[in-house]
Amino acid sequence: MTINKYNLQKMVKAMVLAKMVRFYNAYAFTHNYMVAFNWEKMVIVAFVNGSDLEKITILDKASRGAGNALRFKPNMAQKSWLMENCETFVLCSVANMEQAFESSKYNKGEIVEKLITEHFGQIWEKDNVPFTEDGDLTVDNIAYQIKYEKATFINEKQMVNMAIA
């Protein structure tokens, strides 16, 4: 591969992504995830572990000047990888999820978290427990973080604050 400006930027971006994943995994209470994404008009949930985060996340610009963000914003190749390599289940149709969102005060990620929690026969309550202290849902004594499309795992500002705390 010829090193040009584009390839160098791509390499640096990949290195920053890998570093953010390692940092997140070092602090995360759990390394088990249920990631939800739209696939053929359905909301699919895939079970993923922390060692796969580099395959399914991207490096994106964080909001409010917080540097880079590690996000679950899967493209078609990443969605295909999830479908082929992970245990999955259909949560609901995208239309049903959108309807639940429209009639709620919660954002789409919270609605998906609620739907997944109810899928496992549990009662959902909105909370703000940090990812360092617990998962979003515990099933069969396994804690899971739940992420829906466009969800942020961590940003650089959070990393700096955690490192100096």
The Cα–Cα gap between 24 and 49 comes to 12
- Is the confidence at residue 66, as pLDDT, over 90? no
Residues of the chain with pLDDT > 70, as a percent, come to 98
Q: Is the pTM of this model over 0.95?
A: no
Instruction: Note the pLDDT of residue 64.
Output: 86
Q: Which one, of 121, 131, 123, lies nearest residue 155 by Cα?
A: 131
Instruction: Note the pLDDT of residue 34.
Output: 98
Structural domain harbouring 27: 5-164
Q: Roughly how many angstroms between the first and final C-alpha of the chain, as a whole number? A: 41
Number of structural domains (the chain) is: 1
Q: How many CB atoms lie within 10 A of CB 27?
A: 14
Each residue of 97-141: pLDDT tens digit? Answer: 999 999 999 999 999 999 999 999 999 999 999 999 999 999 999
- Is the confidence at residue 20, as pLDDT, over 70? yes
Of 3 and 93, the structure prediction assigns the larger pLDDT to 93
| C-alpha distance from residue 139 to each of 3, 13, 116, 156 (Å) | 47, 35, 11, 30
Matching residue, tokens 């994404």: 37
Q: Mean of the pLDDT values across residues 65-93? A: 96
